[in-house]
Amino acid sequence: MNKIITLFAFTIVCISIHAEAILDTTSMESLYSKQVFYSLDNGTIATVSNEDWHIAFATAGTGAAGSAILLNEATAILYACPFDTSAWNTFDTSGYKNWSRLLNSDTTWTNGAFNAYRGAASTFDMGWGILNPANNFWTFGDSLYLIQINSEFKKLWVVSLKSGVWEFRYAN
């Protein structure tokens, strides 16, 4: 038994000698102003400003994971409009400060700000639209949004998602 324990201890020591700790650092800068893309094999791959984007569309994953739309809360404010897509041409921002402000989930990438109402209407409700399993899993947008970027406002309609291709409309 002593030989087995000695052999086991020797094996552990040999393995730990060959394991090499790699110390590396990267910075997202103050107030997380940068996005850092990091590879365990190659270190920091890229660093980009968090000011360079407003919304992000997920194109990978199945089900809900493939239909997430996130908001860059550092550069934009998102409001849920109280009317449906039939109001696209007559979009009215009166009283927008009383509309619900939407935020990304703080626990999952699957629920971006545009997915805040996921599941409210049905199992197939993605928040911004309704998934139609009878139509090749095509998701049709049923909501309008108001995005504030600095002092400018944009109306936005996520029209559809099919086979990883997003269609959306926006205008001042």
Which tens digit of pLDDT belongs to each residue from 122-170? 888 899 999 888 887 788 999 999 999 999 999 999 999 988 889 999 9
- Of the candidates 71, 69, 70, 66, the one whose C-alpha atom is nearest the C-alpha of residue 162 is 66
Within 10 angstroms of residue 126's Cβ, the number of other Cβ atoms is 27
pLDDT of residue 136: 73
Alpha-carbon dihedral angle through residues 50, 52, 153, 89, given to the nearest 10 degrees: -130
Whole-angstrom distance, CA of residue 154 vs CA of residue 28: 29
Q: Is 28 helix (H, G, I), strand (E, B) or coil?
A: coil
Q: What confidence tens digit (pLDDT) does each residue in 57-101 have?
A: 887 666 666 788 999 998 999 999 999 999 999 999 999 999 999
Using alpha carbons, list the distances in angstroms from residue 35 to 23, 25, 61: 20, 14, 22
Whole-angstrom distance, CA of residue 89 vs CA of residue 84: 11
DSSP letter string, 67-103: G-EEE-TTT-EEEE-SS-GGGGGG---TTGGGSPEE-
pLDDT of residue 124: 87
